[in-house]
Structures are given as structure tokens and as C-alpha cells.
Structure 1
């Protein structure tokens, strides 16, 4: 029959050359020609005219249509319309399979398995092709692959993979798959009952996933234990993971034990997990040396989690030798494998110039890559847009990234959203939304959010709510909030007037070296308000605040020197401190200096200070201290 085709095929070839020349001149779409040849071939095939079908399929196949290549190959395999020729079938199937045509991959795999159309069978090539088709959902390929794994033909024998693909084939509604799956299950179960550790592990995983068997966590754990105790490292690893997922203290300790057992057998993932546990002290004693030992083993074997962990430990985690260059090396390796957390922390190193020259372009690119799935990177990308770092400043885009980060679980993004709504940047001003986001952030322990919430209440004259929020911040040790609480007690705002409590809170803030509180405490001693009037004590607190650079305290200290209150009168020192305060822009210090020079008194003092500015460095700090704002993973 192929002889019949020789003359027409030659003529067709000459004709095709002329057609191609005409097509090139007229810009015809080759896809249309492919589809036309394929559709005409299909019609001819359905009508039983296989020779006509062969001509059309060949035409489209030569133009690269994978479906036509597959159908033309099948004609050669079956001897329809052309003389049967397995080698030609193989040739055209290879072309279609290379274009990921699942049926072609499956049929070609069968030919490799049987050796048809080639010098000898190639089971290994058959396995590769069956797998390619199986991964595209081809049910028959999945079943064939299961059989090859079960028999160990063309691949190492593996009951686990055999069952995995048999289950997949069953789900694909392959009629032969379910009986084979049950037969395979029966065989593996029998092996497990005889103490076969690998079979026990395979069954355990099926019970755990509920694949091919009803999910049964109890049976899964029992089988995992049996297999693990027999020394199966995969079972040891998965048993450890099962125990670690429960986050129970005793079970975490047992998890660490099994991770270590598997790691000692060379299980790379187990080495990574145990390394992290040793680094964080979860489930086992914190041991930096052990952590680095196991993480290095896993990282050198290519485990991206271990590489990321090393990068974090070397760059961010207290208790480990700080080495940004070493961190950079490991984070680059992990980032190349697609780890979003590694990309985020690597971007921070580039942004800050740690271990590498500062490179905002590279940082921005890495944040973008990581932001597809990582909330810290989404937040950091928001900062880049908010402040125009290696991009055009765009507060609306920043707000969008902060919203996305918050929705993904970023705690820092809540404060950022609150600030934007509070101050009307990138979004329409909304007191209600600002309060909502401040409350959300404060609920997660963010002191800045709690403080800003209190400020918002205070400035809308809701002193009771302001006092409550300031009190919470003060109780958490916020010195600025302690100073404000003291002031509110002193002036009866949001709470009854209570000078004794005012003194208590001023002292708490002053003991944290907060200059405003030291200054306010000095005022109480100077005036004898709530305290015994003691100029020496007043001088002491003014001096501490003045030395810290606080201009109001410098002005008051100059006053004490000028009048000899609490200290020996000293005109030169008075002049020095008035001048220092004036240099910081304090107008009354300039006036007092003028009075001093004229040998007059009547100096002006500030009697009380509180700082009610919103904490909004993220928006207004110049230059922005990126190190204090970018969010990184601190522990692996």
C-alpha cells in the first residue's frame, strides 16, 4: 500500500513547496492550514477513507501539529491508509510526545516497553514516558506506571509509587485500575503484617492521606511506629512530622528524637528539621553547634529549608555567629530554588548593603518575586512604594500591598494601614478605619499601634478611652506613655486628679531615661507639687534631661545656675545652657539669654511637657531607617 502512495506523495511534496512559497508571499496563518488538514483528515478517517486521512494528517503533521502527528503515527502502527510501519509510528509519536501530547507519550511508552519499532525494548524509557502522560492525568498511563513500579521493571521496585499511581488511575475512572489497586493493597498489607518495614510505611502513608483507603490517623501512626522502630528512615521522618504537627510538648520531644534518628541515617529532610529544632530549642535543648552541624549537612545536600535556616541564623538570630556574607551565600541558593522567605531576607540584605554592596534594584526585584506568596515581602514592597525606593513613589499602590500583606497575616501591615487611614495617605481619611486597624495591631501586642490609638482618642477629646489605651501601653513599659499617664493624673484628664500617681508614673518614665519625664519630675521638685520642694532634686533631674539633649531641660538648668537654685550660682554655666537650648530653636531660651546678658531676672520656664505626636516614622522619617522598618524572618 505504501507503494501506491509514493507517486502521489512525491507530487504532493512538489505541490507543498509551491504552496509554501505562495503562503510566505501572502502571510497565510499556518495554524489555519494545520487545523484544516487535521479536520479534513478526521472527516476522511470517520468516513473510512484511511488513505485520504493519511494524506491530510501527513500534511498537518509536517507543519508541526501534534494531534496530526499522533494520528498519522497511529495509521502507521495499525496499517490503515499506509503500509504498517512501527518505525514510522515511533518517529511521529516522538514528535508529538515532545510537544507533551499525552496520548502520544502513552502509545510511545507502550512501544518502548514491547520493543516494537526499535532494535530492543527500553523499559526505562517506557517508565519516563508513562510518567509524563500520567502526570497529565492519562488514566491508562497511570495504571501502566503502577504496574512497572510494582514489578520493578524499568525502575527500582517501589510499592509506594505503585500504589500512588494505581490510586490515581482509579480516580481517573480506568476500569482496570480498581481491581489492580485492591490486588496491590492485598499484597502490600500481607507484607506489612509480616513485619516488612517498607510495606508498613507505604500503608501508613495511605491511611494518613486517605488515598485508596479510608483515612485512619490511628492506624497510620501505629504503622509508622512499627516501621520507624524497624529502622525505616522515611517512617521515622514522617512519624516525627506527625508528632510535631500536634505541637504538644512531650510529642515535640519525641518528634526531635525521630528526626535525629532519621538524620543519622542520611535523611536530608530530617536533618533540616532537627537542625531547626536544635536552633530554636523546640522539642530539644537549644544547641547552636548541633543546629549548624545538621543544617549544614542538609544545606550542602541541596535542601532549601536548611539553606534558608542557615541564612536566617547567620544574619538575624541572636546566639549565633553573625556572618552576613555566609548568610548571603545560603539565602541566594535557597532563593534560586523559589523559597519566598529566603527571597525576602535576601532582599533585605541587598536593601541594607549587608554582606554585599547596597542594591535597591535587586532588593525590589526579590521583594516582587517573594510577594507572590510571602506577607513579609508584601509588606516590604509596600514600604518601597510608600517611600519611592527604586520605584516611583505611589501611596495608593503601597496601601494595596499593605492590605494584601495584612490579609496574608502580616502584623506590621495592620499598623501601616492604621497610619494611612489616620493621616489620609494613599487612602481616604477614616477615623473609624484607623481605630479598627490600630485595635487589630494593638491586639497583637504592637505598642506603637496602642500608643497611636490613644493619641487619636486624646485629640478627639475622648480622654477616658485615651487614658485606658495609654495605661495599657504604660503597663507594657512604654516610657512615653508613662509620661502621658502621669500628666493625665496631674491634670485630671481621663482620670481623677491624683498628684501622687502622677509622681509614680513620672518616676517610671524617668527611670527609663525618658528626658521629658525627667524634666517634668524636676518641675515638681522645683515647685514642690506633690513632692517636698527640693531644688537639689530639681537640679538633678534637669541635669539628666539636659545632658540627654532636651532643650526645655537645658533652659531650666540654665535658670538654676543663674539663680543658684540647687547649685552654686554660675553665670558662665547659665549662659552655656541658655545658648545650647537656644541653638536647638527654643525661643524662650533666646529671651532668657538676653535677660542674663542684661543682668536681669524674670526668666521664662516651661512648666510641663508631653509628646502627643503620632508615631509615623514609616511615613515621615528622613532618611528612612530601612533597618528598623523592613520585616525579616528572625528565626528559622
Structure 2
């Protein structure tokens, strides 16, 4: 027994040692701390597919999409596991659901062939090929091109076939280039044989330079042929091509092709032609046609047409205004993300037009639109400048006006000029004020031109002031006409010329500008620069007085008191002196006392000009939002 104990003891020790070694060095495929994917890749590279399968399975079960893909491939190829297409499909679906492009591609091939399932499923194959192709998988892109070319799992479409063949070529797929050239040859042959769809496809290839050298002339040639054959897409794109050139003759032709496509039910063409009929671009303004085509496109869900309808119903002259209808269409377009619709809808909410007034909703819409819309950016600046539904903040307002101007908003230039001129929200800068006034004036803003002239005048640069005032006056600005007349009368910035003064006073007076009417009345009363005629002096004083101008009311009272140009009438004199005094004109109060004491020696004002900066945007009380908010007036 003692002899047996020793060998048994040695054997037991040996078994314990082997077991310990196995315990220390064995593979635990369920160790969550192990990187199953990496270990599987190493095993795969070493040709140990069984080991790789164990590691891939571990990582796949933990949701690793690459491991799911690799595990599926082992089942598909029968490496390390028994070949099983059903299992391959199962794991590929899991990886594909996690947007694994290669898994989507391989799954699509299995659907296409029917492996691992009861039968082939071309539609599902198409779907997964597209998912992989959209992620830039070159082979998937090429397969997609083939499916579109052959009409497998989808209706045949040469245009989409070429699109994906081009994409595959750009993805450096080696088989894509020869297939692309084969497709191009086939489409070109069909186009030359008069196939309108092929002509359109070829035109777009030339236009984009996809697989062909970009050639605008060839693109237009094929578009015309296709359009003339009745292809509505070609008609629409030809019209768009012509409209982009903005040549008046080409705009007329563009309108013709848009209408042709619209009559075939092309929604975007209907929207475009409707807008052209509304604005008179390329065709006569025709409200009936505009509404017909825009409504057709809008009802079909076209957001551009919905926006256009909203603008026509609420803002565009010549169209029946219906703010409620406008708000309904703008709401639809705003929901689709149209920034211009959001801006105009915000204006309706801010003014309570067609909807209940709601500053909060207006502010929210402007914030949404301000990502891309310059009018919305300007309007947000206005809201901050005047504290409409937000804390008044000149600095924030200035920032929005700067952003709006950078986006091309012309009204923001005047706003910035005012801020720099008056030192609101920015550091006062005469140089910056002049710059922005000039920028705004250059775009036809008369207020900017007038304020620029005021700035020059108050810094005694009369020559520049005169030039700017004259430019504004020549554009019909009555206040500038009055100032130009005054500068001629007093030799400021120009030589004294009373005849020119009379002419410019008369231009402003005939525009019902009270100050000019008053000044012209003074010239007639004094006989300065024209024949002294009290009746004409009385005529102009009366017009200005009835418009509420106190200096003219004072002078009209004087004429009644002394019977100049009119029969003397102390009661009417008292009435007009009182009217002027009520408005705060001190000399009218003094003249009223003289009248009551039956004395003369009345005091008159001999000349007036208004040199105040036009800054209603900053100081108008109450704020007239309707005047200042910027909205689209035409589609």
C-alpha cells in the first residue's frame, strides 16, 4: 500500500498542476473585460476561424456592429462555423440596423439572391443597397445603378442609374467607370433617336458635368429637344435655366416653358409661373392667373407657392387683401421651414392682422427665421431696439442690424447709420455714420440721404450738405426742397440765388409741405424775389395754417388783424393767434395780448427750416411697428 501511495500522490500533484495551468491560460470567451472584436480579428488573421468565431460572437452579442458583421460573414462563408445563410442574414440585419454600410451592402446582396430566406426580395435589396450607397459604399452605388438601369426591384430610371454610376466612379470603384460609359452610350443613343426622357437625362449630365465635360450649350440643346417633345421636367429645367440669366427676352421664354410644364401638372412650375404672373416678370401681371397657379401648387403642398399666396393676400398691391387667408397659407409654409414665410407671419402676429396680436409668437418666429433671413434679422434688431417683447438693448439691436446688413438687408444700413450718428448701442462715430448713410443712400434711401446732408450741414460742410440735399430734393423729398431753397436764399453751399429759392420753395409747397408754404408766403408778403402780393401771401399762409403749422397760424392771424390780402377780421385773427399759442408759440401769445390791447407791432417768423435727423426708428412715440417692420411685399 505504501508503494502505491507515492505514484498516486505524484499523479494527483501532476493533475492539479495541469488544471492550474489550464485555468491560468485557458480562453474565457465570456470575459466582458476582453476586447472580443480585436481578439477575433487577430485570430482571423492567424487563420484560426473557430477562435475568431467565438470572439466575434461575444462582441456581437454585446451589440458591437462590426463584430456582428464579421460574425455574419463567417456564417455566410462557413469559416469557423457551419455555413448558415439564415444566421448570416440574422446578424447582418442587426449590424445594418446600426448603419453599418458593409453589412447593409452584404444584406442587400442576400436579399437580391434569396440566400438565407424563402425567396429573393428585390425591393428589400434595393432599400439596403440605397442605404449603403448613401453612406458612400462604392459597390452598393454601382449595384444601385445596375438595378435602376435594369428596372429590378424598382422602375427603370436612366437618370438615377447614371447618378449612382457617377457616385460609384467618384468612390473609386474599379468597375464603375466602364459601366458609366456604357450607360452614357446607351442614353445618348436613345436621346438621338428622339427619346424625350433620355434627352432630359443627357442634358442634366452635361449641365452638372457628371461623367461628361460640363457643357452648358449642349445641356440647353438637349433640354430644348426634350421640352419640345413635351417632357415637363425638361420644360421646367429649361425655364429655370433661362430665368437665371435675367435677360428680358429669356424671361418671356422662361414664363412660356413654366406655363407649359404647369399645364402638365408640374407643381414647381406652377409655383414659378404663378409668381411671375403676380410680379409681371416675363409675362403681363395677371392676378387671376397668379392665384390660379399658385393655389394649385400650394394645395399640392409646395411651400414656395404657399408663401407667395400669403404675401399676395397680405402685402402685394393690386391683389385682394385677406389677412386671415394670408396667415393660413404662411402658417403652412412656416411649418415647412420657409424663413420668408416665418418672417411675414411674424409681422402679422406683431400687428394683429389676420391673427390675434401675439408678440411672443412673433418673436419666436423671427428667431427661427433669423438663421437665414435678413428681414427677420432686421426685425429682431428693431424688437431689441424698442423693447418689444424683450428687454430694450441697443447693443443687441446693433448686433442684429450688423448681421442683417451682412446678409444684404438695405434697411439695416440706415439703422446702423443712426446708431453711429447718435451713439446708441455703438461708440459714436461720424465716419461710420457717413459710411452707412452713403451705403443706404446709394440704394435709394431718401431718409439716409437727408440725414447725411444734415450731418454735413451741422459740421459746417455746406458744399457737401447742399449736394446731398439737392440730390434728395431732385428725388422729390419736399423737406429737402425747402432746405435747398433756404440755402439758395442765404448763400449756403451755393451762391445766393433768390429765383432758385422761389422755385424750390414752390416745389415743396405744391407737395403740401407746410414749412415751404409758409416760407413762400413770406416771400410774397415781403416782395422778396417776386412781386409783392398780399393775397398770394394770405393763400399760402392759410394752407400751412390749416395743416396745423403754428408759425403760419401766427402769420395768418397777422394778415386778418391788419387786413392784408383779406378783409380785416379781429375774431379770426384772435382764433389763429390762439391756435398758434396753444401749440406753444410764445410770440403768438404776445401777439394775442397786443390784439386784445388794440395795438399792432406784431412779431412774425420770417423763415423756417427743419434740420432734425430723421430717427423715428429710435424715438417715435408711440412706435408705429407697421411702418418699421420689414416684410416681403412680392413673392
- Go from structure 1 to structure 2 and tell me whether the alpha carbon gap of 1:603 and 1:98 turns closer, same or farther (over 3 Å shift): farther
Aligned-partner Cα distance in 2 for 1:161–1:221 = 20
- Go from structure 1 to structure 2 and tell me whether the alpha carbon gap of 1:218 and 1:610 turns closer, same or farther (over 3 Å shift): same
Instruction: Spell out, residue by residue over 1:429-472, the C-alpha distance to the aligned partner (whole angstroms, 9 max, x if none).
Output: 11111111111111111111111110110010000000000000
How many angstroms does 1:45 deviate by?
4.1
Aligned-partner Cα distance in 2 for 1:44–1:352 = 72
Aligned to 2:10: none
Alignment of structure 1 residues 259-408 onto 2, 5 Å: 259-408=258-407
Would you say 1:470 and 2:464 are equivalent positions?
no
Aligned-partner Cα distance in 2 for 1:114–1:126 = 9
Instruction: Spell out, residue by residue over 1:25-48, the C-alpha distance to the aligned partner (whole angstroms, 9 max, x if none).
Output: xxxxxxxx7x95544444444444
- Go from structure 1 to structure 2 and tell me whether the alpha carbon gap of 1:607 and 1:298 turns closer, same or farther (over 3 Å shift): same
Structure 2 unmatched runs, 5+: 1-26
Aligned to 2:253: 254
Aligned to 1:163: 162
How many angstroms does 1:561 deviate by?
2.0
- Go from structure 1 to structure 2 and tell me whether the alpha carbon gap of 1:623 and 1:231 turns closer, same or farther (over 3 Å shift): same
Alignment of structure 1 residues 211-610 onto 2, 5 Å: 211-610=210-609
Instruction: Spell out, residue by residue over 1:246-288, the C-alpha distance to the aligned partner (whole angstroms, 9 max, x if none).
Output: 2222222222121111111111111111111111122122211
Aligned-partner Cα distance in 2 for 1:600–1:56 = 118
How many angstroms does 1:91 deviate by?
2.8
How many angstroms does 1:72 deviate by?
3.5
Aligned-partner Cα distance in 2 for 1:120–1:469 = 83
How many angstroms does 1:312 deviate by?
1.1
Would you say 1:110 and 2:109 are equivalent positions?
yes
How many angstroms does 1:63 deviate by?
4.3
Aligned-partner Cα distance in 2 for 1:192–1:209 = 17
Aligned-partner Cα distance in 1 for 2:371–2:158 = 37
User: Comparing 212-221 with 131-140, which one deviates more in the overlay?
Assistant: 131-140
- Go from structure 1 to structure 2 and tell me whether the alpha carbon gap of 1:615 and 1:43 turns closer, same or farther (over 3 Å shift): farther
How many angstroms does 1:202 deviate by?
0.6
Aligned-partner Cα distance in 2 for 1:498–1:45 = 101
User: Comparing 385-394 with 296-305, which one deviates more in the overlay?
Assistant: 385-394
- Go from structure 1 to structure 2 and tell me whether the alpha carbon gap of 1:591 and 1:36 turns closer, same or farther (over 3 Å shift): farther
- Go from structure 1 to structure 2 and tell me whether the alpha carbon gap of 1:569 and 1:144 turns closer, same or farther (over 3 Å shift): same
Instruction: Spell out, residue by residue over 1:40-85, the C-alpha distance to the aligned partner (whole angstroms, 9 max, x if none).
Output: 4444444445455445444444444433433333333334444433
Aligned-partner Cα distance in 1 for 2:375–2:46 = 62
Instruction: Spell out, residue by residue over 1:114-159, the C-alpha distance to the aligned partner (whole angstroms, 9 max, x if none).
Output: 2222222221122222222222222111111111110111111000
Ranges of 4+ aligned residues in structure 1 off by more than 6 Å: none
How many angstroms does 1:88 deviate by?
3.0
Aligned-partner Cα distance in 1 for 2:294–2:613 = 44
| C-alpha RMSD over aligned residues | 2.0
Instruction: Spell out, residue by residue over 1:305-359, the C-alpha distance to the aligned partner (whole angstroms, 9 max, x if none).
Output: 1111111111111111111111111111111212211111111111111110111
Aligned to 1:5: none
Aligned to 1:178: 177
Aligned-partner Cα distance in 1 for 2:333–2:182 = 42
Instruction: Spell out, residue by residue over 1:89-111, the C-alpha distance to the aligned partner (whole angstroms, 9 max, x if none).
Output: 33333333233332222222222
- Go from structure 1 to structure 2 and tell me whether the alpha carbon gap of 1:173 and 1:568 turns closer, same or farther (over 3 Å shift): same
Aligned to 1:612: 611
Aligned-partner Cα distance in 2 for 1:284–1:107 = 54
- TM-score normalised by L of structure 2: 0.92
Structure 1 unmatched runs, 5+: 1-10, 20-32
- Go from structure 1 to structure 2 and tell me whether the alpha carbon gap of 1:96 and 1:560 turns closer, same or farther (over 3 Å shift): farther
- Go from structure 1 to structure 2 and tell me whether the alpha carbon gap of 1:397 and 1:175 turns closer, same or farther (over 3 Å shift): same
Secondary structure at the aligned position of 1:329 is classed as helix
How many angstroms does 1:593 deviate by?
2.3
Aligned to 1:77: 76
> If you compute each CA radius of gyration, which structure gives the higher value, 1 or 2?
2
- Go from structure 1 to structure 2 and tell me whether the alpha carbon gap of 1:323 and 1:495 turns closer, same or farther (over 3 Å shift): same
Secondary structure at the aligned position of 2:603 is classed as coil
Aligned-partner Cα distance in 1 for 2:301–2:187 = 32
- TM-score normalised by L of structure 1: 0.92
Aligned-partner Cα distance in 1 for 2:628–2:59 = 60
Aligned to 1:144: 143
Secondary structure at the aligned position of 2:116 is classed as coil
How many angstroms does 1:613 deviate by?
0.8
Aligned-partner Cα distance in 2 for 1:169–1:277 = 40
Aligned-partner Cα distance in 2 for 1:602–1:65 = 103
Aligned-partner Cα distance in 2 for 1:630–1:82 = 72
User: Comparing 573-582 with 510-519, which one deviates more in the overlay?
Assistant: 573-582
Aligned-partner Cα distance in 2 for 1:162–1:618 = 57
Aligned to 2:128: 129
State the number of aligned residues: 609
User: Comparing 71-80 with 339-348, which one deviates more in the overlay?
Assistant: 71-80
- Go from structure 1 to structure 2 and tell me whether the alpha carbon gap of 1:325 and 1:55 turns closer, same or farther (over 3 Å shift): farther
User: Comparing 162-171 with 100-109, which one deviates more in the overlay?
Assistant: 100-109
Secondary structure at the aligned position of 2:349 is classed as helix
User: Comparing 151-160 with 626-635, which one deviates more in the overlay?
Assistant: 626-635
How many angstroms does 1:504 deviate by?
0.5
- Go from structure 1 to structure 2 and tell me whether the alpha carbon gap of 1:562 and 1:192 turns closer, same or farther (over 3 Å shift): same
User: Comparing 36-45 with 244-253, which one deviates more in the overlay?
Assistant: 36-45
- Go from structure 1 to structure 2 and tell me whether the alpha carbon gap of 1:558 and 1:40 turns closer, same or farther (over 3 Å shift): farther
Aligned-partner Cα distance in 1 for 2:603–2:56 = 101
How many angstroms does 1:509 deviate by?
0.3
Aligned to 2:22: none
Aligned-partner Cα distance in 1 for 2:508–2:467 = 17
Aligned-partner Cα distance in 2 for 1:526–1:278 = 55
Aligned-partner Cα distance in 1 for 2:65–2:619 = 59
Aligned-partner Cα distance in 2 for 1:41–1:342 = 56
